[in-house]
Structure 1
Amino acid sequence: MIAIVSAPTNLGLRPPEPGSVPGTAKAPEALREAGLHAALQSDGARDAGVVLPGRYVDNPSRGPLTVRNQDAVVDHARRLAARLVDIRRRGEAPLVLGGDCSLVIAAGLASRVTERGGLVHVDGHTDFRHPGNSSSIGALAGEDLAVAVGRHLPEVTDIDGLGPYFDATATAHIGCRRDDEHLDEVTETVALTIPADRIVLHGAARAAADVLSTPGLERGFWLQVDVDVLDPEHMPAVDSPDPGGLSPVELTRLLSELAPRAWGASVTVFDPDLDPTGTHARTVSEIIATGLRHLGVEYAR
């Protein structure tokens, strides 16, 4: 059974403009309004509530070795991880509706506590900015894969002594564009990297088969899905839309193949502020309802 958790955080994002806040915190309720919860619950899912984040603060004058909203990110990760552990111990598969990509930290903490395997990171960007390759760190939504495998500040990579949250040799990244500045480093670091153009060329089923046959992922994994993996033609309602992404059909097929082996999933970075008519909320809802319908069914066996 899927347990739906709302995690309406925007703590890992830069403000879209001075004095404003990112709109990703509105995503879970926008998806509910678009019919996602009803669709999932008709298949037996349950609503497992919400884990609220702390207040978003635009603190550009913070120290050089801190990240935006650092204390609030850590606090939210601990509380969300506790919810995920409880759900998994009930024998359910958590589906986290974010929110921004810093939610991977909570999934990592829960994975370490429950020994739940690897990470499959589906994202239009590598999200691998870290102190070793950039002087402009600070927004964890663009740095979450680096955090997940221990390549960031210890304050976020080693919460409660549990880092690294995922072994790089049991991590796959899928969906970045070929011009991503950190693609080469990610390819050298994690077990498998599949850029978006390979999926477009060879198909989602082949990409999923490559993931599922990768050593280290056979015990299952957390599935992190950033909807900016979609091409802006289909999904402009994200903070960093880049051409060359997947179609809804390709992403749905990819998720359908991967979801049964995952013990849980998170869906992030959809911004309702950029979707005034609700059209794109319906697209995301349809992808999730179909692509993640069988989340965890093989892992639970």
Structure 2
Amino acid sequence: MKKTNILYEAKLMGTGGLYLLPTFLILGVFLFYPMITTVLFSFSDVENGGNIVGFIGLDHYIKIFTDPSFLNSLKVTFTFMLYTVPLEIIIALFLAIIANEKLKGIKFFQMIFSSQLGISGAASSAILLFYFHPTLGTFNSILEFFGIPPIEWLTSPDWALLSVSLATIWMGLSLNFLLLLAGLQNISKDIYESAEMDGAGYWTKLFKITLPLLSPTLFFVIMINMISSMQSFGQIDILTEGGPTEATNLLVYSIYRESSIYGNFDIASAQAVVLFVITFVFTMLQFKVAEKRVHYQ
């Protein structure tokens, strides 16, 4: 009897393994193999587009952490994250709270602020490239109308990172808006009705009910925005190409430049490992610190 049960369980495991085999193959080819190769490259001397010549240990890591360009890319990445993540969430939360109100024409309002989600990042960047144009751009035309001197949005080291950050905020607004609006609509109306019976006003309901019950969604939105900001590439490549004078040379763009332009796959791999470690540490810190303030219903 026991032998029959063991054979039956083995057959079930074999059948389950066959169903999972395509998933494991896809993950192995497109996820695990590139990750292992990247780690190997970061500890090796790589030539001719991917041939490992020899093991050199931590030399690449020592090199990048003594390279002013790489250190600048770290600084730019963290500054970019500080510029984008708080504003993205605050603006999206403000719009979601308005869209959640029972007002006339609110469906049209929701559609307008969700529509940007249908535009690709490349198309959005191309549109903003015209808006930021130093002579023909819409933004400088508005400034000129009010008698304000034009700004070199994408060609000045002082303005380029801020300009790209504003572009990123606009590009990510719709997704954040929809996620937060869904979280707001998931809060039970009975809670608000009970609070109103107890004499709670609008602001009391907002800070004592809405935001605490929205905290799981806010936690998720903050986490994906922080990760996304550290992996931003498309808008950088189209708008500034990491310039001027590396003012927008984010870490991801630095990895792309080292690998695809200069052919330094080993240096790029070391930078990619550093980016992975930073992303992992930030994610763990969020789960350790921020999740304690999350109130699940």
Give the TM interval when normalised to the shorter protein: under 0.3
The structure whose Rg is larger is 2
What is the TM-score of this pair, normalised by structure 2?
0.23
TM-score (norm 1): 0.23
Considering fraction of residues, name the structure with more strand.
Answer: 1
